[in-house]
């Protein structure tokens, strides 16, 4: 990756971080849009569009509604698409690794956004105090600072996620994570997905559990733990059988 490409990706990450919730919410931060943009930066817009569709399916339920906490789908799509395109350019097929890196980047972005919200809350409180003291320009300065900080956080987390993904690609270049999966591994993947879907479908209803207290809430946590275990077992089986 060239310095110009890295700089463009950082600018893209900054703009999408702002769009995803603090500023516009135009939905430009959806993976279906992010993928082609990343592909355009790296000279492969068609492949970028394909990967954007993949990550859109992964993060289809992630919507910036109210104060809901959610993974950063834009950061995930950037990191995952960059890794996938870089791998294909090197003659690899890092589909599994790209999705894994995207999942981690999404969770990292969630933490960053939560931190940004906390900073903004403190900044708003200070601005109110200054307005009470006669400084009527305080809200404007606080807003500008919050947007600048959001852009910086978006650019920084993009470079961090992309760099970590490319490092993982370098370290795992000869592993099953970067090779086409045989038919039997795909069959295991399908069975694993079915098992996870079954746990999600027939386990306790999360919304209902969180509306109650005590043992009902414990059931919700057990259902989520079962989902994680089922996914981990399926992933281990895919990699193990694929070798």
Q: What is the pLDDT of residue 96?
A: 81
pLDDT tops 60 at residue 52: yes
- DSSP result, 122-167: HHHHHHHHHHHTT-TTHHHHHHHHHHHHHHHHHHHHHHHHHHHHHH
Render pLDDT for 181-234 as a digit per residue (tens, 0 to 9).
665 555 655 665 666 556 555 555 444 444 444 555 555 666 666 666 776 676
Q: What is the pLDDT of residue 35?
A: 93
The pTM (predicted TM-score) of the whole model is 0.73
Q: What is the pLDDT of residue 181?
A: 61
Q: How far apart are CA 126 and CA 141, in angstroms?
A: 11
Written as six digits, the tokens of 85 are 């395109």
Q: What is the pLDDT of residue 60?
A: 79
pLDDT tops 90 at residue 10: yes
Output the average pLDDT for the chain.
Answer: 79
Under DSSP, the state recorded for 26 is: -
Of 24 and 14, the one with more pLDDT: 14
Q: Where are the alpha helices (DSSP H) in the chain?
A: 3-20, 31-41, 45-58, 73-89, 95-132, 138-171, 183-202, 206-210, 215-242
């Amino acid at each position: 990756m060239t310095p110009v490409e890295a700089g463009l990706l950082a600018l893209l990450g900054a703009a999408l971080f702002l769009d995803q919730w603090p500023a516009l919410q135009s939905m430009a931060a959806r993976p279906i849009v992010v993928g082609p943009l990343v592909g355009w930066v790296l000279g492969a817009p068609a492949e970028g569009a394909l990967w954007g569709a993949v990550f859109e399916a992964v993060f289809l339920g992630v919507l910036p509604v109210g104060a809901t906490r959610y993974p950063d789908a834009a950061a995930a799509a950037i990191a995952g698409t960059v890794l996938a395109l870089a791998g294909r350019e090197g003659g690899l097929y890092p589909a599994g690794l790209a999705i894994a890196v995207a999942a981690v980047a999404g969770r990292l972005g969630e933490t960053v956004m939560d931190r940004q919200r906390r900073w903004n809350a403190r900044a708003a409180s200070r601005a109110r105090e200054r307005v009470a003291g006669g400084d009527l320009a305080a809200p404007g300065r606080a807003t500008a600072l919050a947007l600048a900080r959001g852009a910086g956080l978006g650019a920084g987390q993009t470079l961090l996620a992309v760099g970590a993904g490319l490092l993982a690609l370098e370290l795992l270049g000869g592993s099953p994570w970067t090779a086409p999966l045989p038919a039997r591994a795909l069959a295991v993947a399908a069975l694993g997905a079915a098992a996870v879907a079954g746990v999600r479908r027939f386990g306790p209803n999360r919304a209902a559990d969180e509306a109650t207290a005590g043992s009902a809430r414990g059931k919700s946590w057990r259902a989520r733990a079962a989902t994680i275990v089922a996914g981990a077992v399926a992933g281990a089986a895919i990699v193990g059988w694929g070798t």
